[in-house]
Amino acid sequence: MVQRPAVLSRQTCTTGCSHGVDLPVVVAQRGPDHLALDARERRQRMIVGAMSVTIREMRPRDARRFLEIHHAAVRGIAAKDYPTSVVEAWARPITDQVVERFVANRDQEVRVVAEIDGEPVGIGAIVVSNSELRACYVTPSAARRGVGSALVAKIEQIARE
């Protein structure tokens, strides 16, 4: 069951920007059946149609692409649901300085990348110490193809370990 959106103020996203506006966050409640999935079922959920979604740890050389995927998802998918001012604050231009701050990883995020045929198409991040899912974004071209579900399954696995 999905609850009405809650509102968080000045949320900090994985790119390190601080949103100066309230962002609605939808919180989904899952029943105990969700936790009962075994590893085989979880792997099968990552196979979408004839393609396979691979989730792996982000490598340092993936930093700019990670930010590009975030940027593409915000501007290409989420932009229709938010005012321009929120989108601008949420997906600022990607500069070398932004990449350096991101690579510094001051919050000790565990970051993952989703690939289809070796091409990064989604990203996820969790701050394990806070039990905080920090990011789950998919490129517009890979949207609605199971990539986000595969990312969330991997992030949940990381949280349990």
Domain ranges of the chain: 32-160
Both tokens of residue 116?
A: 């289809």
Average pLDDT over all residues of the chain? 78
pLDDT digits (tens, 9 = 90+) for 116-156: 999 999 999 999 999 899 999 999 999 999 999 999 999 99
CATH of domain 32-160: 3.40.630.30
Q: Quote the crossing angle between the two packed helices 96-104 and 63-76, to the nearest 10°.
A: 110
| Overall pTM surpassing 0.75 (yes/no) | no
The C-alpha atoms of residue 146 and residue 31 are separated, in whole angstroms, by 20
Higher pLDDT, 84 or 30: 84
91-111 average pLDDT score: 97
Report, as an integer, the average pLDDT of 75-87: 95
